[in-house]
Amino acid sequence: MKVLVTGGGTGGHIYPAIALIQAIREQDPSASFLYVGTENGLENTIVPKHDIPFKTIEISGFKRKLSFENVKTVQRFLKGTADAKKMIRDFQPDVALGTGGYVAGPVIYAAAKSGVPSIIHEQNSIPGLTNKFLSRYAKHVAVSFEEAKAYFPKGKSVFTGNPRASEVVHAEKINVKKEFGFQDHLPVVMIVGGSRGAKPIHDAFLEALPQLSDKQCQYLYITGSVHYDKVKERISEVGVPHDHVVVRPFIHNMPNVLASIDAIVSRAGATTLAEITALGIPSILIPSPYVTKNHQEMNARTLEKVGAAVVHKESEWSGAKLQADIENIFQNGKESEMKKAAHSMAVPDAAERLYELMKSTALK
């Protein structure tokens, strides 16, 4: 099977696509792929590292206000569609998959207009503009949250889950306490705000640090490169023992580390939630309010509803609430309940589900 894949801009669009490609390669070593992204997008650095053939088109998103840039965007869309059609003629795919981001627009549109059966994958509970537009042309819409079905044409949506879950559920556990120099008898909580960090999460942790330092947990603090120096300085000022709070700007083997921690404090991006449900990690979620239609909060509330997560709006978040949440999870017996609830939402065979949908679509 020859598969055209597109999606980019953020890791939330890229990593599910890569996870799916890896799963297909395991089941069908003869499958071939072409990934179409943009030169300036994150996909340009991530995708080639996974030995996936990669080509680019130029595209940008629409501005919400009237702007001459929107005229340029239309021009780029038309040229991107023409460029994508040429790539499609050369590659001759059996099926096309779009995982979101601006680049998916012209590529999946071109595929559909070229007669290539196409599927789009929506990671969030509220879809973005690109996928809503493409749902008119795609044969199927694969969703990660049942709530997303309401935004797409009736009868097109299929619940598959997020392929990233299939990847991390098989992640090999490591001895996280030994690797980072933690004590053996205390649980490990990861604090993370994404690749560039999330200032409110950092501020709350630093505020609570004097009270947290003598409590019942230890912390693996992934700051992102922007906040790393400030956090290190603040921790030194407080005088927290090195075996109690370990700070890193980033971690390369994140799935393996996630498989080994006891709880997490993070944003509520779709890929993150796929990972933590697949692994059954109790979570404290502070959704970013700076995303389209507040979709992170909607994502997070689905976990809160079943008892898998504690959710706080950024405007209501504080060090005191972080301290109270940590105590509630580990002192009041909530940890095991939250683990079970998180596991109940997991779709560990998401990649396999999406692959089956792609195969059946390609045959029609």
67 is annotated as contributing to ligand binding = no
What is the rounded end-to-end Cα distance, in angstroms, of the chain?
14
Phi/psi zone of residue 95: left (φ > 0), alpha (ψ -120 to 50 degrees), beta?
beta
277 is annotated as contributing to ligand binding = no
Exposed/middle/buried for residue 187 (C-beta within 10 Å: 0-12, 13-18, 19+): middle
Rounded CA separation 129/254 (Å): 30
11 is annotated as contributing to ligand binding = yes
251 is annotated as contributing to ligand binding = yes
For the CA atoms of 18, 127, 131, 141, the dihedral, rounded to the nearest 10 degrees, stands at: 70
Tell me how far CA of residue 68 lies from CA of 65, 73, 163, 331, in angstroms. 10, 9, 38, 57
296 is annotated as contributing to ligand binding = yes
101 is annotated as contributing to ligand binding = no
Q: Tokens 């599910």 appear where?
A: 16
Instruction: Give all strands of the β-sheet with 188-192 in edge-to-edge order.
Output: 245-248, 218-222, 188-192, 263-266, 283-285, 309-311
124 is annotated as contributing to ligand binding = yes
Q: Tokens 């996870």 appear where?
A: 19
Show binding-site residues.
Answer: 10-12, 124, 195, 251, 296
Show binding-site residues for UDP-N-acetyl-alpha-D-glucosamine.
Answer: 10-12, 124, 195, 251, 296
